[in-house]
A and B are shown apart, each in its own frame.
Chain A
Amino acid sequence: MKDKIFKGLLFAAALAILLLTAGVIYVLVKQSLNVFHEYGVFGFIFNAEWDPRPETEEYGAWSFIIGTLFTAFFALLLCIPFSLPVALFNGEYFKGYKISSFVSSVVDLLAGIPSIVYGLWGFYTLRPIVIQLGVNAQGFGIFLASIVLAVMIIPYASSLSAEFLSMIPDTVKEGAYSLGATRAETIRHVSLPMASSGIVAAYILALGRALGETMAVTMLIGNTTNVPTSLRDTGNTMASVIANQFGEADGLKLSALIGIGLLLFLITAVINLIAKFIMKKLSVR
């Protein structure tokens, strides 16, 4: 009897996850229905106008979608030359050594720093440098936000890539060595190709992180509603516009912000599912 109740409780808990997810999607859709009704799904997505003034009220998500994709992909690009060496350092060259556990714990600590502290660091330390580089007058913008984002996602990209690199059996690499290949050649022609899908999955997950990052970006991107066309431009991401404008929003504007939240949720969900799908396939093999 006791066991039955307990098993029922376990099932109920698992069911709660199902209901939670269903509830999340339900409220996001229901609360944003208004704005999709007003402009149509594509009319809302592809409209770059965001004007909350009552007389000329108009809401479109396009400039924020572009801002989000722009910063996230540029950050991903910036993070590769750092996260890939870290992955090789920990998963290949110094696999199993003390130094690699030191490096990986230091890099992992980067993941523990709160987003808002990254924002402060970007604002007080990196912004003056960006101004000196002459990127733009105020320092705020896509460029600054992407740099900080790149630092933030290094641990996500590197630790998972290192894991996949370290899973390659030694015998395969020894085969390459015995044919006279150098270590670098073995990495280039054996390790990286073998771990490639795992590494791609790691970077897709890192991209998902970058897309949803809120506070640091809000503090650094400049918060303007234009469509950013170059690294020098200021802009807004989907997350940062919600963080900035949610507080005083009501009516159609609130619905528009929740609609942007729904779109962001869908984008990150698809990205994560792709990464998980690749990883599931790998683990089956």
Chain B
Amino acid sequence: MSDRVKFSNVKKRAAKDKIVFGLVCLFSFLSMIPLFLIIWEVVSKGYKNFNWRLFTQVAPSSMDALIAKMSGEPIPGGILNGITGTILIVGMAVLFTIPLGLFVGIYLSEHPENKFARTVSYLTDLLQGMPSIVIGIIAYIWVVKPLRSYSALAGSVALTIMMLPMVVRSTEETLKMLPRTLKESGLALGASYTSVIFRVILPSGFGGIFTGILLAVSRVMGETAPLMLTALGATVVNWNILKPTSAIPLLIWDFYNDPNLVDIIWSASLLLLIVIFLLNWIAKIVARRWKI
């Protein structure tokens, strides 16, 4: 009698165990579905306009698109002004970020016990959690207001503030993983501190540092909100860093707000996703290749 009761109890527990396992698997796979849904939507709607024109022509005006639409033709134009703008803005941000981010990262990894370094480390966390729209406000006040014009420069200042904490963190963490003996043996051989850092430490940590930079770039590539307050957007290709400049995400925002231009929105998103996923993929390969 009592044996049977116990046995059914064990069975129940085993069944419960299986159910929990099943639910964990089910919900894990459910969590992956949105990614495929998003990719599917962007690819299936975007491949039609994903052609040479996308890279060679600037975004069409609303009027041109309307005329083309009424005569049943595909929308003319591409997103050249967005592509060049993204290259300009993100490129400048990378130039600002790398030296500063690396130096701060080196400093933090070299002085882990220092009180000042610990404060800087906390502040880096603080900056990392700062919402992108607030960063947009900062760059607006710092750059747009004094120069009295929206500009690519303001946009890259905003993106620099976003990338900086990520690069600092990845540099710091990578360098902290290097064995102390590496630095000590360099110094023991009579090399100066500077050359030990540049010739020994940085090359050894190259994989982790480079991965961090790539991931930071892929993170800010699709940022829209801070650019709305700083780079604003432009209808032509612009290489002047002091003038309003467009970017791919800014164009997507414009297309979203203009019913005549909706057709081209998906090709622009497709390009953005391809670049971001490519950067992530390269980052993964680099991380695996140059593992410490």
Which residues in B have their C-beta under 8 angstroms from that of A257? 137
Interface pair A239/B133, CB less than 8 Å apart: yes
Question: What are the residues of chain B within 8 A of A154 when measuring CB–CB?
Answer: 31
Residue from the list A10, A212, A246, A276 in contact with B107, Cβ < 8 A: A10
Bound-complex Cα distance A107 to B107 (A): 33
Do residues B132 and A212 form an inter-chain contact, with CB atoms below 8 A?
Answer: yes
A213 to B129, CA, bound (A): 11
Q: Which B residues lie within 8 Å of A125 (CB)?
A: 37, 41
Task: Give the distance in Å from the alpha carbon of A133 to the alpha carbon of B221 in the complex.
Answer: 35
Chain A proximity mask over B200-229: 1 for CB below 8 Å, otherwise 0: 000000000000000000110111110011
Please give the distance in Å from B43's CB to the nearest CB on chain A.
12
Query: Known interface pairs A120-B256, A151-B34. Does A113 touch B249 (Cβ–Cβ under 8 Å)?
Result: no
Taking a contact as CB atoms under 8 Å apart, the answer to whether A17 and B28 are in contact is: no
Closest 7 CB pairs of A and B: A114-B222, A212-B131, A13-B103, A272-B129, A85-B27, A182-B17, A184-B20
Q: Measuring CB to CB, which residues of chain A are less than 8 angstroms from any residue of chain B?
A: 2-3, 6-7, 9-14, 16-18, 20-21, 23-24, 27-28, 31, 81-86, 88-89, 93, 103, 105-107, 109-110, 112-121, 123-125, 151, 154, 158, 182-185, 187, 205, 208, 211-215, 218-219, 239, 242-243, 246-247, 257-258, 261, 264-265, 268-269, 271-273, 276
**A17 contacts which chain B residues (CB < 8 A)?**
104, 120, 123-124, 127, 164, 168
- Tell me how far the C-beta of B37 lies from the nearest C-beta in chain A, rounded to whole angstroms: 7
Assess the A82–B27 pair: CB atoms within 8 A.
Answer: yes
Chain B residues touching A, range: 35 or more
Q: Mark B43-58, 1 if CB is under 8 A from A, else 0.
A: 0000000000000000
Asked whether any CB of chain A lies closer than 8 Å to the CB of B23, the reply is yes
Interface assignment of B152: CB less than 8 Å from any CB of chain A: no
Judge whether B130 is part of the interface by a CB distance below 8 angstroms: yes
Give chain B nearest CB distance to A91 CB in angstroms.
Answer: 11
- CB within 8 Å of A: which of B102-135? 103-104, 106-108, 110, 116-117, 119-120, 122-134
Contact flag A182-B249 (CB < 8 Å), given A18-B119, A214-B225:
no
Shortest C-beta distance, A63 to chain B (Å), equals 17
Interface centre among B129, B140, B256 (most CB of A within 10 A): B129
Q: A110-B35, A112-B277 are in contact. Are A14 and B120 (CB under 8 A)?
A: yes
Q: Would B38 and A243 count as touching, CB distance under 8 A?
A: no
Known interface pairs A85-B24, A184-B17, A239-B133; A103-B32 also in contact (CB < 8 Å): yes
| Complex partner residue of A184 from B16, B38, B123, CB under 8 angstroms | B16
Contact in complex: B31, A212 (CB < 8 Å)? no
Cα separation A184 to B19 with both chains bound (whole Å): 9
Given A183-B17, A211-B131, A109-B277 contact (CB < 8 Å): yes
Check A83–B31 contact: CB distance below 8 A: yes
B249/A214 in contact, CB under 8 A: no
Distance between Cα atoms of A12 and B265 in the complex (Å): 44
Residue of A nearest to B219 (CB): A112
Closest to B34 in A: A151
A23 to B13, CA, bound (A): 59
Known: A17-B127, A82-B30, A113-B276. A27 touches B142 (CB 8 A): yes
Distance, CA A106 to CA B107, complexed state (A): 34
Known: A17-B123, A212-B134. A114 touches B31 (CB 8 A): no
B28 to A121, Cβ gap below 8 A? no
Query: Shortest Cβ distance from A72 into chain B, in angstroms?
Result: 11
Name which of B67-75, B76-84, B191-199, B234-242 contacts chain A: B191-199
Give the distance to chain B from A114, nearest Cβ to Cβ, in Å.
2
- Among residues of B, the one whose C-beta sits closest to the C-beta of A265 is B134
Report yes or no: B31 in contact with A3, Cβ–Cβ below 8 A.
no
With both beta carbons as reference points, the residue of chain A lying nearest to B140 in the complex is identified as A246
21 A-B pairs with CB atoms under 8 Å apart are A6-B193, A7-B193, A10-B106, A12-B103, A13-B104, A28-B138, A89-B28, A107-B31, A109-B35, A112-B277, A116-B224, A154-B31, A184-B19, A214-B133, A214-B224, A243-B133, A247-B228, A247-B229, A261-B133, A265-B134, A276-B122
Q: Is B94 an interface position by the 8 A CB rule?
A: no
Closest to B102 in A: A13
Task: Check if B37 sits within 8 Å of A121, measured CB to CB.
Answer: yes
CA distance A247 to B253 in the complex (A): 14
A185 to B25: give the CA distance in the assembly, Å. 17
Contact between A18 and B123, CB atoms less than 8 A apart: yes
Q: Are B276 and A182 in contact (CB under 8 A)?
A: no
Chain A hits for B273, CB < 8 A: 113-114, 117
Which of A118, A158, A215 is in CB contact (< 8 Å) with B31? A158
B87 to chain A, nearest CB (A): 16
Shortest CB distance A159–B (Å): 12
Nearest CB of chain B from residue A30's CB, rounded to whole Å: 9
Contacts of B222 in A (CB 8 A): 113-117
B159-202 residues with Cβ-Cβ distance < 8 A to A are 161, 164, 168, 192-194, 197
Contacts of B224 in A (CB 8 A): 114-116, 214-215
Other CB < 8 Å A-B pairs besides A114-B224, A121-B38, 13 of them? A3-B192, A6-B197, A10-B104, A16-B104, A21-B127, A85-B25, A93-B21, A109-B280, A116-B224, A120-B42, A121-B41, A242-B133, A272-B125
